[in-house]
């Protein structure tokens, strides 16, 4: 049975648990534990990873209440296991399944699935990577369920795959994700390196060890999400540091972020949500309460000279004034910001979020240690204007990014020969005639540093007349439109709040926040250190 079929069958088993009150999120957590046990059995790694007496067959043989109690004890035992990564995965984990019959049905159904594909010599062809791919499939299905809230940490795999393909991580490079989520960027980077090294067999022992234990490092603030990420990495045969695994637990905007090793490549999608945060405990050059702008500063600081980054950011990072302008100016001074991709709406599960990808290299192409005037020109690819809206009924796939990949070129630092243009792309809502194919109507254009400076160092660069927003046939669903409007209003209110504080009207700003909290039935909000 192929991996996709197994994912669908595993997800179908969710129906019975959901009827018993287990949420989608908790279902994935339950599967994470059971899938790990099953993987160890199928791949013959039980002796390496699991203590004797706490393995799949030990659990399967139990029945009823005894099985339920044994499962609870098993989770506690593995949470204190001597294997550091297994311990981290199962630490503080317990089951939300309250009915023994439900647990038994899940275990029995999983055991009956045809996990192995028989090869010609009668052996199983399923590997740890196969189980990892299945687990990723489950995470993606979970993210599709908007009620689960999983979309907050799940970057579309299509986008991850394209970014990694363009950035070309190499053996012996340290790849970092300071907002790792479920570790999608790191796993795809590992897959890319394996694809160019014959699954690491072309490397010597020292380089193989480096790739397994030191090449990839991530940081995740939420313990439950870190657990999913650690499981994901281990299932994909990436062990990381023997004490913490690939994914460390901590805040990139605090001491944990400062302790991360310098990176050759940073691939990340910092959290969207509310831009303002009270968990910024680190001192940045340009101090701000906007978490997304602080993440940008972390990335620039964490890159080795000559290192490269691709970062998914919301629109406000492109145009926010005040500290935002200073941070963008600093970025363009210290790094060569060579490419911006304006993404279409609807590809993230948080409806209404408008996003972009910034591609940059620390220093200049000629001098990796240069820290002034590194950006001389920036190429912008507009994949948003006059594009169809994507969503659950119209999914975003690799094929929609093919024209951008071709325009970007082979060089990961954006130094391939480029030519302005690109007109009628897949997904366009307008069809240009030959006479209309002018630079003003192109999706791919180059802008000088002087042009950006004259715009007040705003990177919100648009030039296409977007006819799709006035064409009723291309309008998103009403709930998406409403969410977009709410998102823009929230951002405007946040900027007004920040302005009031900068003008010294902290008490008035605090009063307005309290009024909004009361209006929407929210918990008391901390503003500038006050409750």
Q: Does one domain contain both 60 and 170?
A: no
Q: Is 133 a domain residue?
A: no
Q: 373: pLDDT confidence band, cut at 50, 70 and 90?
A: very high
Q: Does one domain contain both 484 and 381?
A: no
Q: Does one domain contain both 104 and 245?
A: no
Q: Is 529 a domain residue?
A: no
Q: 274: pLDDT confidence band, cut at 50, 70 and 90?
A: low
Q: Which residue has the tokens 């902290």?
A: 506
Q: What is the mean pLDDT of residues 307-320?
A: 94
User: What is d(CA 445, CA 517) in angstroms, rounded to the nearest whole number?
Assistant: 43
Q: What's the pLDDT score for residue 13? A: 72
Q: Is 224 a domain residue?
A: yes
Q: What is the mean pLDDT of residues 474-486?
A: 61
Residues in the chain: 531
List the CATH number of the domain containing 50: 1.20.1260.30
Cβ atoms of 474 and 468 closer than 8 Å: yes
pLDDT tens for residues 31-77?
778 888 988 888 888 888 899 999 999 999 999 999 999 999 999 99
Q: Is 366 a domain residue?
A: yes
Q: What's the pLDDT score for residue 280? A: 86
Q: What's the pLDDT score for residue 447? A: 98
Q: Does one domain contain both 194 and 269?
A: yes
List the CATH number of the domain containing 325: 3.40.50.150
**Burial degree of 372 (CB within 10 A; 0-12, 13-18, 19+):** exposed
Q: Considering its fold, how many domains does the chain have in total?
A: 3
Q: Which of 2-6, 138-142, 381-385 is the most confident on average?
A: 381-385
Q: 525: pLDDT confidence band, cut at 50, 70 and 90?
A: very low
The residue ranges of DSSP E strands in 283-416, in sequence order, are: 303-314, 335-342, 355-362, 377-382
Q: Does one domain contain both 106 and 227?
A: no
Q: Is 395 a domain residue?
A: yes
Q: Is 222 a domain residue?
A: yes
Decide if pLDDT at 530 tops 60.
Answer: no
Name the residue among 216, 25, 249 with its Cα closest to residue 138.
25
Q: Is 280 a domain residue?
A: yes
Q: 488: pLDDT confidence band, cut at 50, 70 and 90?
A: low
Q: Does one domain contain both 381 and 272?
A: yes
Q: 521: pLDDT confidence band, cut at 50, 70 and 90?
A: low
Q: What's the pLDDT score for residue 475? A: 56
User: What is d(CA 165, CA 158) in angstroms, rounded to the nearest whole number?
Assistant: 11
What is the domain range of residue 101? 3-126
User: What is d(CA 352, CA 180) in angstroms, rounded to the nearest whole number?
Assistant: 22
Q: What's the pLDDT score for residue 254? A: 93
Cβ atoms of 362 and 300 closer than 8 Å: yes
C-alpha distances in angstroms, 177 versus 103, 242, 285, 362, 492?
35, 18, 21, 16, 29
Last residue of a domain, one of 474, 490, 508: 474
């Amino acid at each position: 049975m192929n991996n996709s079929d197994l994912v669908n069958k595993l997800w179908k088993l969710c129906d019975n648990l959901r009827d018993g009150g287990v949420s989608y999120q908790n279902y994935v957590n339950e599967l994470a534990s059971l899938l790990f046990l099953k993987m160890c059995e199928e791949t013959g790694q039980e002796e390496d990873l699991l203590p004797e007496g706490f393995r799949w067959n030990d659990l399967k043989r139990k029945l009823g209440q005894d099985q339920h109690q044994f499962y609870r004890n098993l989770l506690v035992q593995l949470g204190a296991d001597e294997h550091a990564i297994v311990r981290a995965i199962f630490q503080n984990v317990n089951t939300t399944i309250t009915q023994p019959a439900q647990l038994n049905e899940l275990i029995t159904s999983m055991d009956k699935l045809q996990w192995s594909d028989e090869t010609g010599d009668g052996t199983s062809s399923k590997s740890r990577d196969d189980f990892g791919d299945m687990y990723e499939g489950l995470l993606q299905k979970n993210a599709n369920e908007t009620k689960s809230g999983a979309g907050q940490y799940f970057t579309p795999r299509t986008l991850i795959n394209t970014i990694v393909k363009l950035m070309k991580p190499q053996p012996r490079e340290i790849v970092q994700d300071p907002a790792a989520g479920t570790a999608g960027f790191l796993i795809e980077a590992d897959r890319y390196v394996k694809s160019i090294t014959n699954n690491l067999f072309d490397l010597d022992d020292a380089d193989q060890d480096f790739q397994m234990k030191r090449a990839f490092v991530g940081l995740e603030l939420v313990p439950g999400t870190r657990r999913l990420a650690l499981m994901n990495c281990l299932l994909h045969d990436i062990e990381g540091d023997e004490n913490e695994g690939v994914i460390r637990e901590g805040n990139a905007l605090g001491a944990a972020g400062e302790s991360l090793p310098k990176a050759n490549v940073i691939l990340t999608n910092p959290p969207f949500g509310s831009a303002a945060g009270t968990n910024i405990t680190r001192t940045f050059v340009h101090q701000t309460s906007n978490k997304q702008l602080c993440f940008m500063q972390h990335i620039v600081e964490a890159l080795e000279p000559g290192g490269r980054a691709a970062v998914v950011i919301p629109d406000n990072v492109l145009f926010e004034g005040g500290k935002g302008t200073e941070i963008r100016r600093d970025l363009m001074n210290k790094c060569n910001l060579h490419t911006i991709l304006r993404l279409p709406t609807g590809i993230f599960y948080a409806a209404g979020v408008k996003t972009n990808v910034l591609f940059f290299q620390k220093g200049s192409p000629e001098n990796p240690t240069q820290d002034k005037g590194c950006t001389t020109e920036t190429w912008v690819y507009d994949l948003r204007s006059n594009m169809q809206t994507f969503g659950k009924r119209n999914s975003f796939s690799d094929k929609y990014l093919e024209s951008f990949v071709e325009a970007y070129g082979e060089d990961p630092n954006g130094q391939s020969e480029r030519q302005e243009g690109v007109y009628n792309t897949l997904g366009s809502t307008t069809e240009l005639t030959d006479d209309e194919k002018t630079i003003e109507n192109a999706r791919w254009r180059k802008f000088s540093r002087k042009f950006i400076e004259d715009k007040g160092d705003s990177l919100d660069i648009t030039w296409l007349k977007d006819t799709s927003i006035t064409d009723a046939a291309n309008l998103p669903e009403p709930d998406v439109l409403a969410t977009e409007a709410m998102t823009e209003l929230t951002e405007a209110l946040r900027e007004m709040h920040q302005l009031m504080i900068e003008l010294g009207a902290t008490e008035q700003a605090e009063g307005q926040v309290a009024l909004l909290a009361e209006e929407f039935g929210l918990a008391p909000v901390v503003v500038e250190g006050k409750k």
